[in-house]
């Protein structure tokens, strides 16, 4: 790739800055960490690896990066692409082979959504492997739009107010997941992937499923953004500015014992004595 144009340089700087801010805000990476970068072959994980490699060079702390790809044995998966790319840029890596494709195809009826089971199987395998290689952090390529989409999916279909946190400890306490692209928007990542000409590997297991709930939510958010530019940024800020007393979760706020404060200043003043 040749010299970057002004706009391309701004794009690169913006992604690096936003990732750096997210890492700092949530203390995602600490001195001495071994960060397992989960590389799927998609635009998001390539961008995440690229940005983390830059930050590794300029950060005031030392941390190790190792890329990990999970070969799920999907028919036609180009096994040579990721090793060739990682060898070319000099990044240490592991390829974890696990035939989750056959399990998903066996368990999920034809035409039904495979994403949920596929992601659970993949996540469990990667958690275990991170433990095996002594990784202290596991980096996933989810971005701001993914986080917002998950929030609305959980609200519309699951009846819960939750999204993807930028930093998460696994239920068993053995893994810490980080999302360095949490502040980055998908449009920038798409543009950067084209700019860098990453060798994208499409997912042929679920990529053809057009009626996914996530696709519907994504289109809804994109339409909102078209009509009111900046709305997605405002909604993301809302996830960072939660007021439990203004919701209705009795586990987060003690509504039952909410009473008048007898020591509060009276609302009305005696104007005759002013």
Which amino acids are annotated as binding site for [4Fe-4S] cluster, given as ranges?
115, 118, 206
CA 230 to CA 183: how far, in whole Å? 14
Q: Which two tokens stand for residue 212?
A: 């996914």
* Rg of the Cα atoms in the chain: 22
In the annotated binding site, the residues are: 115, 118, 206
Beta partners for residue 95, in sequence order: 69
64 by Cβ neighbours in 10 Å (0-12 / 13-18 / 19+) ranks as middle
How far, CA to CA in Å, does 43 sit from each of 142, 197, 199, 200, 203?
Answer: 11, 10, 9, 6, 12
Strand arrangement, sheet containing 34-38? 93-97, 64-71, 34-38, 137-139, 176-178, 167-169
Count of alpha carbons within 13 Å of 29, Cβ hemisphere only? 27
């Amino acid at each position: 790739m040749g010299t970057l144009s002004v706009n391309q340089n701004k794009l690169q700087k913006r992604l690096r800055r936003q990732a750096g801010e997210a890492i700092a805000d949530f203390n995602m990476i600490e001195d001495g960490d071994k960060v397992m970068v989960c590389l799927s072959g998609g635009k998001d994980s390539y961008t995440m690896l690229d940005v983390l490699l830059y930050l590794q060079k300029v950060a005031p702390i030392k941390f190790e990066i190792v890329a990990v790809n999970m070969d799920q044995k999907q028919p036609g998966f180009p096994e040579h692409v990721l090793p060739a790319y990682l060898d070319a840029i000099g990044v240490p890596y592991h390829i974890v082979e696990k035939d989750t494709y056959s399990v998903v195809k066996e368990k999920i009826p034809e035409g039904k959504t495979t994403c949920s089971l596929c992601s659970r199987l993949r996540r469990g395998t990667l958690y275990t492997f991170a433990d095996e290689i002594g990784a202290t952090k596991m980096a996933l390529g989810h971005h701001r739009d993914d986080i917002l989409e998950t929030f609305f999916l959980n609200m519309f279909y699951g009846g819960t107010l939750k999204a993807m946190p930028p930093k998460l400890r696994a239920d068993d306490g053995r893994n810490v997941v980080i999302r360095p692209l949490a502040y980055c928007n998908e449009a920038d990542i798409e543009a950067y992937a084209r700019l860098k000409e990453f060798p994208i590997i499409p997912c042929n297991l679920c990529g053809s499923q057009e009626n996914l709930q996530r696709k519907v939510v994504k289109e809804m958010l994109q339409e909102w953004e078209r009509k009111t530019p900046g709305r997605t940024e405002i909604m993301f800020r809302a996830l960072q500015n939660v007021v439990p007393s203004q919701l209705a979760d009795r586990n987060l706020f003690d509504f039952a014992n909410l009473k008048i404060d007898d020591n509060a200043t009276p609302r009305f003043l005696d104007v005759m004595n002013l």
